[in-house]
Structure formats: structure tokens, C-alpha cells
């Protein structure tokens, strides 16, 4: 760690010490677990599924589930990294709540008890007709049985978590999907959708209110691993700054919230949060 980075860690520790704080995390905190981010240097170009298109077109659903069949197998191999574990440990040092824009569940796997999954969880599936929630792993087995021809691509994607085809929302490039068999709800026959917020879809209002309440209850808001490119996360930073709550940002590269930051570290989350946990 450089001298300037060490000074910044000290400033961050001083800001958080003996205070109640909330963390807002993005895709950057999971890159060390092998899940690529959306906008980093190694992120692959992509055209994400739009919510309205998913509802309207069978071909879009076929493409999504074929790609998700591969992506979820890689996601299932991901494990919490030092950044996730550091935040779990920091619950004993003032961290009250983690608001995450990620859908990977790695904060909970690391031991964080109070987590708001702003964009949902990839390991759950929701029926859009009856509302039933079910494990994604169960649907995965059904999809594999119904689409044995994709097993070769699934097996190939299982081994390499850093495969350039993988995205942080569990989507992955699959070449052959035009004849993919899409399955429906076992209970009512309705459309199934991963329990995540698609592009063009709104975060449930109750969840947004819960996140705002966590920001309002905090004496500091720490952003870790998010460029804050989309308003979904940026709104909480602007809300905190408007209310006079100090904001700290740890991210590789610039963010849209930098002007609101009291402390700003251009650094990786794993090493920074681990150093912070040691200091606090």
C-alpha cells in the first residue's frame, strides 16, 4: 500500500470511527470473487435484457433463459472475497446495514446479517402470475433436463468463473438458443422471471423506502465498488449529501458521486476494506 493510500485509509477510519454507518456496494466489490463488473476495463460489451421485451416476446425469454442457464452455473461457484468478509466483520464497528446493487448474495454468504438486496437475488425465481418464489437451483435442474443439448456449453462455463461470457447479473453469452425450451411455473403455468430488477424495471417502492431509511439512520454513507453510473444507487449518495451526511467512496476510477464525497479512495475494495477493518 502506498503512503498516500495509507493516509486515505486513516482518513476513512477517522470518518467512520465511533459512528453508525451504512454501506452501499456495487459490482466492483464482487470482481475479486470472479464476477466481472459492467464497466471496468475487462467488462465485455453487452445488450442487457429489457423488462418490457422480456414480458412481450417469447424469443427474448428464450434467449435470456438459455444464457442464464450457463451464467447461473458460474455464479454458483462464486465465493465471498476479502471485501465481503471485511464488511461482515465491520458490523461490530458501526456498520448497521449493507445496501447492495448486486444480485449475487455474497454479502449474506460472508456473514452480513442486515442486507438490503436493492436489485433482488439471482438465486430466486418469481412467477409473474401467482407470485410464488422458488429456488433458482430447482429451475436450473428442470432447464438442464429440458435442454440437454446445452450441457456442453454449461459444463464449459462451470469451470471458469472469469469467462468473458459472464455478466454480473448472471447472464452469459450462449451461441445456440433459438430452440431453447422455456419452462413455466409448476404451480400455475405462469411466466417465470429471476427475482432481480431488469433494465427498464423499477425497484419495488417498499425496498427503496427501506434503503432510504437505512441512509437516514446513518451518520456516514460508505460507497464501495460502485461507479454510481445509474440513478438507482446515485440517488442515495445525493440524498445523504443533501441532508449533510458525510459520504465516503472507495472505487477504482471516477464515480458520478465524487463531488459529494468527504473522503475518496481510488482503490480496490478488498484491500481497502480489509485495511479498514484492521484499523477499526
List, edge to edge, every strand of the sheet that includes 133-135: 133-135, 120-127, 192-196
Closest of 84, 116, 101, 103 to residue 273, by C-alpha: 84
Cα angle for residues 174, 179, 181 (degrees, 5° grid): 95
Q: Is 119 one of the annotated active-site residues of the chain? A: yes
Q: Dihedrals φ, ψ of 132, to 5°?
A: -65, 135
Given a contact cutoff of 8 angstroms between Cβ atoms, the answer to whether 46 and 245 are in contact is no
Active-site position among 107, 119, 145, 239: 119
Neighbours of 204 (CB within 10 A): 12
Could you tell me which of 186, 190, 176 has the C-alpha nearest to residue 148?
176
Going by their DSSP bridges, the two strands 133-135 and 21-25 should be labelled as unpaired
> Which sequence positions are flagged as catalytic?
119
Amino acid at each position: 500500500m502506498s503512503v498516500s493510500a495509507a493516509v486515505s485509509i486513516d482518513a476513512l477510519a477517522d470518518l467512520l470511527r465511533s459512528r453508525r454507518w451504512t454501506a452501499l456496494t456495487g459490482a466492483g466489490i464482487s470482481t475479486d470473487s470472479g464476477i466481472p463488473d459492467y464497466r471496468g476495463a475487462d467488462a465485455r460489451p453487452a445488450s442487457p435484457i429489457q423488462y418490457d421485451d422480456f414480458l412481450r416476446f417469447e424469443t427474448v425469454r428464450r434467449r435470456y433463459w438459455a444464457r442464464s442457464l450457463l451464467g447461473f452455473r458460474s455464479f454458483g461457484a462464486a465465493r465471498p472475497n476479502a471485501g465481503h468478509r471485511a464488511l461482515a466483520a465491520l458490523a461490530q464497528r458501526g456498520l448497521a446495514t449493507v445496501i447492495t446493487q448486486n444480485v449475487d448474495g455474497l454479502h449474506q454468504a460472508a456473514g452480513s446479517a442486515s442486507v438490503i438486496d436493492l436489485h433482488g437475488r439471482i438465486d430466486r425465481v418469481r412467477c409473474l402470475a401467482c407470485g410464488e418464489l422458488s429456488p433458482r437451483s430447482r429451475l436450473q435442474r428442470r432447464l438442464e433436463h429440458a435442454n440437454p443439448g446445452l450441457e456442453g456449453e454449461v459444463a464449459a462455463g462451470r469451470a471458469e468463473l472469469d469467462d468473458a461470457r459472464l455478466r454480473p447479473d448472471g447472464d452469459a453469452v450462449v451461441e445456440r438458443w433459438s430452440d431453447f425450451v422455456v419452462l413455466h411455473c409448476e404451480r400455475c403455468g405462469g411466466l417465470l422471471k429471476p427475482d432481480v430488477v431488469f433494465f427498464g424495471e423499477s425497484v419495488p417502492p417498499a425496498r427503496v423506502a427501506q434503503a432510504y431509511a437505512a441512509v437516514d439512520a446513518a451518520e456516514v454513507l460508505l460507497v464501495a465498488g460502485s461507479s454510481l453510473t445509474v440513478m438507482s444507487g446515485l440517488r442515495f449518495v445525493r440524498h445523504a449529501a443533501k441532508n449533510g451526511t458525510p459520504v465516503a467512496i472507495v472505487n477504482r476510477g471516477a464515480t458520478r458521486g465524487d463531488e459529494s464525497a468527504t473522503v475518496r479512495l481510488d482503490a480496490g475494495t478488498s484491500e481497502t476494506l480489509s485495511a479498514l477493518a484492521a484499523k477499526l
